[in-house]
């Protein structure tokens, strides 16, 4: 299915928030992006794939991917959504050129059963780099497709301090593999932690005109954050997009 055309004024709106030289030479430029409901939910319930964005802002997602070298998600999103992790902008008939990364500390995601694996077999997308602390024996399948497991000394995720330390490891490792810009799309724990990590360069959030209710999965960082800097809003057919940067004390 072809993408809905991207409005030119949306491109202009996004431009100031797109990757430039990383402010920290040991980390990539990090864009944190997600779609949420009016009640700040990113899904209707844990593990439930939920459509929030209008076709117009779905195209925006692929445009954003086209402006980054890599895309990163967590294992929860990989398991719940089975995403393609591809870039379809500007031409969805050509192979995707974005590098997918999946953070999977305990080796829970079965790459061989994923949609991404099928795309890899058809040479329509790059194989993923899986960031983990566990050695997984898949008979060499991932490497045969061009992917890789990056084994890092990740700490237990039972505390915010440990999780933030893990992000230092992860982003440094990505930079070591030549990644200069990454678009991080979730899930909720990743978004919430990175909001207070001091590692994010830009935030781009889609707000859809829907309420998902009390069972939904929240975007809500572990501590309060003062107002974003350099904030701009764009309004489309149904959705609104807000872009900005975190306050200096959290960057």
Query: Residue 91: what pLDDT?
Result: 81
* Model confidence pLDDT, tens digit, residues 62-84: 999 999 999 999 999 999 999 99
Question: Considering the entire predicted model, what is its pTM?
Answer: 0.94
Query: Residue 24: what pLDDT?
Result: 67
Query: Residue 230: what pLDDT?
Result: 98
Tens of pLDDT along the chain (251 residues) come to 689 999 999 999 999 999 987 666 899 999 999 999 999 999 999 999 999 999 999 999 999 999 999 999 999 999 999 999 999 998 878 889 899 999 999 999 999 999 999 999 999 999 999 999 988 889 999 999 999 999 999 999 899 999 999 999 999 999 999 999 999 999 999 999 999 999 999 999 999 999 999 999 999 999 999 899 999 999 999 999 999 999 986 65
Query: Residue 94: what pLDDT?
Result: 84
| Domains defined for the chain, CATH in brackets | 26-40+47-245 (3.40.430.10)
Query: Residue 18: what pLDDT?
Result: 98
Tell me the three-class secondary structure of the chain, residue by residue: CCCCCCCHHHHHHHHHHCCCCCCCCCCCEEEEEEEECCCCEEECCCCCCCCCCCHHHHHHHHHHHHCCCEEEEEHHHHHHHCCCCCCCCCCCCCCCCCEEEEECCCCCCCHHHCHHHHHHHCCCCCCCEEEECCCCCCCCHHHHCCCEEEECCCCCCCCHHHHHHHHHHHHHHHHHCCCCEEEECCCHHHHHHHCCCCCCCEEEEEECCCCCCCCCEECCCCCCCCCCEEEEEEECCCCEEEEEECCHHHC
Query: Residue 93: what pLDDT?
Result: 80
Query: Residue 250: what pLDDT?
Result: 62
């Amino acid at each position: 299915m072809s993408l809905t055309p991207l409005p030119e004024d949306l491109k202009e709106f996004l431009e100031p928030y797109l990757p430039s030289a990383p402010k920290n030479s040991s980390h990539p430029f990090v864009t944190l992006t997600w779609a949420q409901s009016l009640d700040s939910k990113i899904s209707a319930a844990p593990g439930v794939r939920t459509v929030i964005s209008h076709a117009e802002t779905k195209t925006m997602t692929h445009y954003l991917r086209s402006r980054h070298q890599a895309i990163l998600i967590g294992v929860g999103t990989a398991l719940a959504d089975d995403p393609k992790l591809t870039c379809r902008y500007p031409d969805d008939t050509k192979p995707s050129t974005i590098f997918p990364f999946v953070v999977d500390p305990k080796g829970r995601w079965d790459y061989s059963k994923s949609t991404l694996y099928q795309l890899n077999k058809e040479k329509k997308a790059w194989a993923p780099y899986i960031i983990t602390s566990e050695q997984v024996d898949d008979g060499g399948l991932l490497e045969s497709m061009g992917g890789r497991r990056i084994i890092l000394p990740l700490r237990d995720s039972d505390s915010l301090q440990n999780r933030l330390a893990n992000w230092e490891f992860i982003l440094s490792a990505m930079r070591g593999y030549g990644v200069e810009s990454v678009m991080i799309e979730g899930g909720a724990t990743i978004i919430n932690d990175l909001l207070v990590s001091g590692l994010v360069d830009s935030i781009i959030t889609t707000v859809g005109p829907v309420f998902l209710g009390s069972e939904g999965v929240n975007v809500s960082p572990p501590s309060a954050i003062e107002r974003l800097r350099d904030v701009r809003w764009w309004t489309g057919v149904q959705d609104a997009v807000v872009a900005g940067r975190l306050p200096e004390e959290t960057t």
